[in-house]
Every structure is written in C-alpha cells, then in structure tokens.
C-alpha cells in the first residue's frame, strides 16, 4: 500500500511541476520580447538594493501596520516551507515526520515556532481581508481593481487561511494519534497552537483521525503545488520576481531621464561634437518611443509581471489625486495584460497605446516620480509613460498644442518661453542697476 501512495505522490507532484515549468518558460519568453537594456553595471549596489528592498522590505515600512502584517506572511511563507520539505521527503520515501527522530527535542521547538508563524499568517490574512472588504482602503477600490484583480487579492488570502488551518488541524489529529500509541505516529511533544484544536477531535476513532490527518497532509501538498502554479497567473508572482526586479533596478537618480541614443548622436553631430562610432554605418533607428508592449525594454516588461497591485503608486500620484485618469498601477497592469496577449498570439491589431492606455492618461503624468518612489519593489511606471509620450510626440506629432509650442521654443530659443536667448536675463537688469 505504501508504494502505491508513493507513486500517487510522485504523480500529484509531477503534474503541477510540469505546468509550472511551462508557465515560467512562457513568462520568460514574454519578458524577452522587450528591447535590450544593459543593467549589468554596479553589481555591488544591485545586490545591496535587492537585499534591502526585496529581502529586507525596507520601503514597506513607510506604512508600519500593513508592513508588519506583510512581514508575518513573508517570514511565514519562507519558514513554514521548511516543513513542506519534510512533507516532500515523507511522500517520496513513504515515511512520517522523518526529521523527528534525528532532531530530538529541537523538533518540538521548531514545530511550535512553525505553528506560531502559521497563526501569525492566519491573523495577517484575516486583517488584510478586513482591510480590503470591510474597511475598504481607498487604493483597493480604484476602477482598475474591479472584477478579477479584486477577486485575485481575496482568493489568495483565503487560500493562505485554508492552508494554515489545514496544518493546525493535521497537527492536532497527529497529537491525538501519538497519545493513543497508533503505529507510525512518532512523538513530537506538545504543540501549543494545534493543541487548542484537540478537544474538537478527541472523541473520534483512530481510523477517522488517520483520515483527518492524512487528508490534511494531502490537501496541503496539493494546495502548495496548485498555489505555485496559480501565482504565475496572479499578482502574487512578485513573491519571486521582486528579487530580480530590485536587482536590476534603475540606480540613476530618479530625476534623470534617459536620452535616446539615436537622437543624442544626431544632436551632437549637428553641433559639431564628437560622436562615438561616427565612422560606422548608421544603425536603423526604428520607432521613437513605444506604441506597443514589445517597444518597451525587457526590464519594463519584468516590472509589469512583478507588480503587486498594492496601489501605493496610484495613491501617491498627484494626477490621480486630482481626479485625472492616470493610474500608475493601471499602466503596469495593462502592460502585463498586453504582453500576455502578444505572447499568446492574441489581440491582433491592438496596441498598448490607444487600446489599453489612452493619451489622456499619459498626458496627465507630471514626471514627478512619486509612483517610482512609492513602489515597495522599485517598479518604474514612469519609464513606460515616457516612452509612450515619446511615441506620441515624435512619431505622431500628437502632443497637445501648448506642448508643441514649448518644444519648439526649447529647440529654437533653448527655453520654454518665446523670446530670444539673448534676452533671457533681462529680468535681472533692474537688480544690476540698483547695485
């Protein structure tokens, strides 16, 4: 009977792993549809950013209460998975709590620690459900959060709650079976949290308790692997992508806007300045800016998949606060949806700019970088917005008339105002006279 269960276990694990690997390859392929971008510089600073922001969650603690609750879930996710490692080994070898005999009394300490974390995760998930559905924090009620995004956020929290209950129920039934001396159930000592559930199962027969314990064990295994596949379609993909995303962050000052190399070279050439690679044949310029997701860099596409949909960017956006259509979170969500369509061969004839994101949205952006500063994992919605603005201005000449007038003045007068550069400091003439 044991070997049959082992075969079933391997099959149960192999199926989701197959789909998980296939989905990971698809996401990687979609990200690589973006344009090349070199982010290999300053490796020391990149490792530091990843450890502080992704692993240490430095930027989360701007809001201490949700940050602490998120930290409980985060630590619980990392540590409780050590128990899942034991589940895996037990499933493959047909054993039960294989680490217990080797760890002795430390096993009880570890299990109690896992249970306290499970309780912390449970409390945090319930608190987040309350924040989303009862308190209704404003950033969770924006228009882009209707339908699937709202359901996704709630569903993942409910799944976490159910998985934590499954662990506690399994441990409670396990302890009763240990106390009755049922074969195969090794002594783990008292477990403080799951012991509270023992009165609920005390009067059940041994065979029924085995069904409860084994059922919870199988439920947790299936749940973990189903969860792993599910999050690759969910905003919770940030659990994994937060680390590479912060490593490849833009380390330049946030006010620095990246110039287009082709335009820079042309301007230098017109001014008689030396141009790197001037003797080489001119490269094909292609499209200025971005009209579709594939016109963006691979980093922007990675950021779209990394977005947590927490809404901190939109909550800090001054344009959004004044009632404009712009929502940096929606920009990231739309970019992800569009590159998913492209990767799946859908949405022929559609474009990111126009069909997903409107000109009215991007024109509302002030380039203040509040969204980038607010993001807990260094996502940069502004880089996408600027690329779309460039496309509108340079490919379509579709910027507002007042903007085009400003662009023209900068080109001819080197200032946004329509007067000669020689008159630029006339305003200070009276000051010089008085001195």
Q: What is the pLDDT of residue 285?
A: 57
Extract the residue ranges of the chain whose pLDDT is less than 70: 1, 277-286, 432-435
Q: What is the pLDDT of residue 184?
A: 87
The answer to the question of residue 174 being in a domain is yes
The answer to the question of residue 1 being in a domain is no
Using an 8 Å Cβ cutoff, are 327 and 317 in contact? yes
Residues 211 and 336 in one domain: no
CA–CA gap between residue 189 and residue 107 (Å, rounded): 9
Question: What's the whole-model pTM score?
Answer: 0.89
The count of other CB atoms within 10 Å of the CB of residue 204 is: 14
* Closest-CA residue to 143 (of 300, 285, 327): 327
Using an 8 Å Cβ cutoff, are 145 and 311 in contact? yes
The answer to the question of residue 274 being in a domain is no
CATH of the domain at 385: 1.10.1060.10
Residues 174 and 310 in one domain: no
Residue 216 β-bridge partners: none
The answer to the question of residue 196 being in a domain is yes
Q: What is the pLDDT of residue 193?
A: 94
The answer to the question of residue 372 being in a domain is yes
The answer to the question of residue 272 being in a domain is no
Residues 223 and 356 in one domain: no
Range of the domain at 363: 287-399
Q: What is the pLDDT of residue 85?
A: 87
Residues 175 and 318 in one domain: no
Q: How many domains does the chain have?
A: 2
CA 159-165-171 angle, 5° bins? 140
Query: Rounded to whole angstroms, what are the CA distances from 62 to 155, 251, 318, 373, 374?
Result: 26, 20, 18, 11, 9
The answer to the question of residue 308 being in a domain is yes
Residues 239 and 332 in one domain: no
- pLDDT by residue (tens digit) across 173-209? 999 999 999 988 988 889 999 999 999 999 999 999 9
The answer to the question of residue 12 being in a domain is no
Would you give the distance in Å from CA 327 to the centre of its chain? Answer: 17
Residues 103 and 189 in one domain: yes
In the DSSP assignment, the letter for residue 354 is I
Using an 8 Å Cβ cutoff, are 216 and 224 in contact? no
């Amino acid at each position: 009977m044991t070997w049959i269960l082992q075969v079933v276990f391997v099959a149960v694990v192999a199926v989701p792993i197959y789909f998980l690997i296939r989905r990971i390859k698809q996401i990687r392929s979609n990200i690589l549809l973006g344009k090349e971008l070199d982010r290999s510089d300053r490796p020391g600073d990149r490792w530091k950013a990843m450890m502080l922001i992704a692993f240490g969650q430095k930027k989360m603690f701007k809001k201490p209460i949700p940050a602490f609750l998120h930290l409980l879930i985060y630590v619980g996710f990392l540590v409780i998975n050590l128990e899942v490692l034991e589940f895996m080994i037990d499933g493959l070898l047909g054993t039960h709590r294989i680490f217990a005999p080797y760890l002795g009394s430390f096993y009880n300490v570890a299990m109690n620690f896992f249970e306290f974390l499970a309780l912390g995760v449970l409390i945090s998930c319930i608190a987040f459900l309350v924040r989303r559905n009862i308190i209704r924090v404003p950033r969770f009620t924006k228009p882009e959060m209707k339908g699937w995004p709202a359901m996704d956020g709630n569903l993942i929290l409910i799944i976490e709650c159910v998985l934590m209950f499954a662990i506690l129920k399994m441990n409670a039934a396990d302890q009763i079976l240990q106390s009755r001396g049922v074969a195969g159930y090794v002594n783990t000592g008292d477990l403080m949290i799951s012991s509270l559930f023992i009165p609920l199962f005390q009067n059940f027969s041994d065979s029924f308790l085995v069904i409860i314990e084994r059922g919870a064990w199988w439920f947790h295994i299936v749940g973990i692997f189903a969860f792993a596949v599910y999050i690759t379609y969910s905003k919770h993909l940030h659990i994994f992508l937060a680390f590479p995303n912060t490593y490849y962050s833009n380390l330049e000052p946030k006010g620095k806007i990246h110039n287009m190399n082709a335009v820079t070279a042309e301007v230098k050439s017109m001014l008689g300045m030396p141009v790197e690679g001037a003797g080489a044949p001119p490269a094909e310029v292609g499209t200025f800016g971005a009209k579709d997701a594939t016109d963006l860099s691979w980093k922007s596409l990675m950021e779209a998949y990394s977005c947590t949909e927490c809404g901190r960017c939109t909550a800090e956006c001054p344009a959004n606060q004044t009632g404009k259509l712009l929502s940096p979170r929606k920009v990231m969500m739309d970019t992800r949806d569009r590159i998913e369509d492209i990767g799946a061969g859908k949405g022929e004839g559609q474009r990111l700019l126009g069909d997903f994101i409107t000109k009215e949205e991007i024109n509302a952006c002030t380039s203040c970088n509040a969204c980038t500063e607010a993001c807990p994992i260094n996502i940069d919605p502004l880089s996408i917005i600027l690329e779309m603005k460039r496309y509108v201005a340079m490919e379509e000449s579709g910027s507002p008339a007042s903007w085009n007038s400003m662009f023209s003045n900068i080109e001819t007068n080197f200032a946004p105002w329509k007067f000669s550069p020689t008159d630029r400091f006339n305003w200070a003439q009276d000051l010089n006279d008085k001195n």
